[in-house]
Amino acid sequence: MGVDHDERLLNLLGALSVALADRIAAATEDAVGESATAVAALVSAAQFPGTSIEELRHSLGLSHSAAVRVVDRLAARGLVERRPGPRGPAVALFATAAGERLATRVLDIRRDVVREVAGDGLSGALEPALSTMLARLTVDPEAGDRACRLCDVGACPKDRCPVSERQRALGAVVPDAVVLPTLVTLQGHPLAGR
């Protein structure tokens, strides 16, 4: 009995997804010295300055108290700071200069891990399929935030992002992001060789 070609492709894609996520998590956790959740919180604070703990907890799938503990750890290390928020008692989170540098390193590591695994075999023909799958995974705005918690917004701006497009279709307001100076966005810039 032979294996159905589509079933094999689905299995390969599933295995790749799990293995790639594991490798990215291990590499970024090692670089930051924190959990994958804290790594994502740092990247979020750097790319979406002024985000609240409530917004952060939703994008990371955490309880309020768990999000506070993650922010406490990052703040204690001087990577994130709390400032008065625009509404009531809520605080706004901002990455410090050290936090921005580390978040930039995380995005570079993520890209390098994917490039190492993909090799030279990536084809532009994959983009429509990847975009479709990401849009399908965005069943609600929070699912989209979780999917893109380590995205480099400089490589995939919200006006061309399938997740942002799906979030807008679901009625969400997609916030503007700050593009960190990753190696991708620095190509041709004197800092690119750092």
Domain map of the chain by residue range?
A: 5-187
DSSP 79: S
Enclosing H/E stretch for 12: helix 5-32
Total residues belonging to the chain: 194
Q: Where does residue 162 rank: exposed (0-12), middle (13-18), buried (19+ CB within 10 A)? A: buried
Q: Decide if pLDDT at 36 tops 60.
A: yes
Helix, strand, or coil (residue 51) = strand
Higher pLDDT, 188 or 52: 52
Question: Measured between alpha carbons, how far is 172 from 96 in angstroms, rounded to an integer?
Answer: 28
Number of H helices, E strands in the chain: 8, 3
Q: At what angle do helices 36-47 and 97-118 cross, to 10 degrees?
A: 120
Topology given in CATH for the domain delimited by 5-187 = Arc Repressor Mutant, subunit A (1.10.10)
- Residues 6-17 have a mean pLDDT of 93
pLDDT at 189: 39
Question: Measured between alpha carbons, how far is 140 from 125 in angstroms, rounded to an integer?
Answer: 27
User: CB within 8 A of 75, min separation 6: which ones?
Assistant: 81, 82
Q: What is the mean pLDDT of the chain?
A: 89
99-115, pLDDT tens digit by residue? 999 999 999 999 999 99
Q: What pTM, to 2 d.p., does this model score? A: 0.86
